[in-house]
Amino acid sequence: MSVLDHDGVRLAVDGPLATVTLTDPARRNVQSPALWRALAEAGRALPGSVRVVVLRGEGPSFSAGLDRRAFTPEGLPGEPSFTDLARGGDAEVDAVIAGYQEAFAWWRRPDLVSVAAVRGHAIGAGFQLALACDLRVAATDAQFAMRETSLGLVPDLTGTHPLVALIGYARALEVCVTGRLVRADEAERIGLVNLVVPDDQLDEAATELAAALLAAPRNAVIETKALLQGATGRDLAAQCAAERAAQTRRLRDLAGLDD
């Protein structure tokens, strides 16, 4: 069932599985504030029954990044140009960027597991959108690059935190500052993606992974995701305590003794 379809974003829901598709293949699914607003709306529109969300792009590329018109003095039609944005006060600029980030933040919600199916280019904002998901499946032709620094900017769409968590500070710094392409084989080797498959098997691989994720009991998945997300911020003793508390809740739930 199609729930949303506008500004380059389509959301379809099939029971516990939702699929978000970027729908501008002719322009390699370039991104814009309008698309980000539609992505944020898709997150808000998800029914409570959804457990897994698959993100994909139509055509040969996942997303080639921000629409290059944004870098012109005129900017994108109907949107503030970079110059207009720079003229605002600190609080105003902060609020605008925070609004953009909403499109990238909800994929990490504790009640969902999100999977990006990446083929072709995932550049800049496209790379950060793939990083927003919990898991990534890539086609053999996938290419990731963080080009913001080469344009005099920084990655500001929530991508820096997961990038460092996945590949470490030193490699993340090198990838961001050089803006080089990370191809699928390297991405798998360094832990950036979970699985690489031939291009014609990408959709099938994402579907199979989603099915495997849905096979586990929902509350156990939620508790496990929370444990793993919080692990790097806790020392061993605190993590062990979090495990004990989570397991206590699971045991009581399974025994029918939960509140």
Could you give the 3-state DSSP secondary structure of residue 69?
Answer: helix
pTM of the model: 0.95
Sketch out the chain's domains with CATH numbers. Answer: 2-215 (3.90.226.10), 218-254 (no CATH)
pLDDT at 259: 61
| Mean pLDDT per 10-residue interval, the chain, length 259 residues | 93 98 98 97 97 98 94 89 91 96 97 98 98 98 96 96 97 98 98 98 98 97 97 96 97 88
Evaluate whether 6 touches 22 at the Cβ level (below 8 Å).
Answer: no
Inter-axis angle of helices 125-132 and 90-105, nearest 10: 60
Task: Output the six-digit token pair for 170.
Answer: 């030193």
pLDDT at 173: 98
